[in-house]
Structure 1
């Protein structure tokens, strides 16, 4: 079966999968830059007000994850553009790290909130309500992240198949330059031979 880059399985939403992944990479970079700036702002705010360091650690981790996420998205764009599938693997790893990060800090900050002595007793939603909300958000984030991992892995397969097609075409072209009469010969199929 020959590789067809226009086949339906290489379509993603509204375009071909490499183009869609470049668009996803640009959106990822923009979101990562925004979250990085937000994380740096909160690092500055919580460095002066957070005595225990709970939120400072979260903000520092958030800034680091978003910086790495932005860099991996840039590598993803470069990998798709240059047809180098090895540049796409850091994106897969960072997306798995993102799911772990959201899980760990979502539970530690969202459900088991640190209590400070000077905070007044406010009417807060129960732990069950916060846990249900956290689970809903976690499922949505996980679905989006796992779908983007699926797209990245599909693009890796696309790039490998495209490289294989290029090698076949170049060898076929070289054979044609050596002896043009060989270009018109039809080779028998290897699958139909019986031994």
Structure 2
């Protein structure tokens, strides 16, 4: 899913022991490199399993530059599907969360199930006789890992394993979850306030007091 693009930029010249160049925060090409080399190649937190407890429950999330549908299939498995129709690339699911056994693209009506399989098209007689539904399923996020209900995803086909990525941080998950009287936690939807921030992601945590 991800392709590492070579960059001729000398990042070493932008980072000194006591300072960094301001372009680290403002240069569009640097941001694109960060997406390709960091966010599209490592493990990213996706959601907690309790957010989609039942068959058909879904939540729309974003992983790097990819819109994703997180849903629970009929076998109880969490599926992370790229939220782009295989016909013309329109966003299939627009609701932020809910329950649906089918996801239908608003543009031309292509319909997918909770595993991303293409299960219906509008006017099937108009398509070539060799048209294959199996070849037009929604792409899945290449790698998905879950630890004690916390679901992570990687957009890279290969790379560090999920266990190696978590490493010793598992103990902090254990401490938090084991402190619950029932030995697990549940995340319930509440009021969500979203703010569009026109700035670099590295500045979000600055002066967080």
Q: Which TM-score bucket, shorter chain as reference?
A: under 0.3
Larger proportion of helix: 1
TM-score (norm 1): 0.22
Rg comparison, structure with higher value: 1
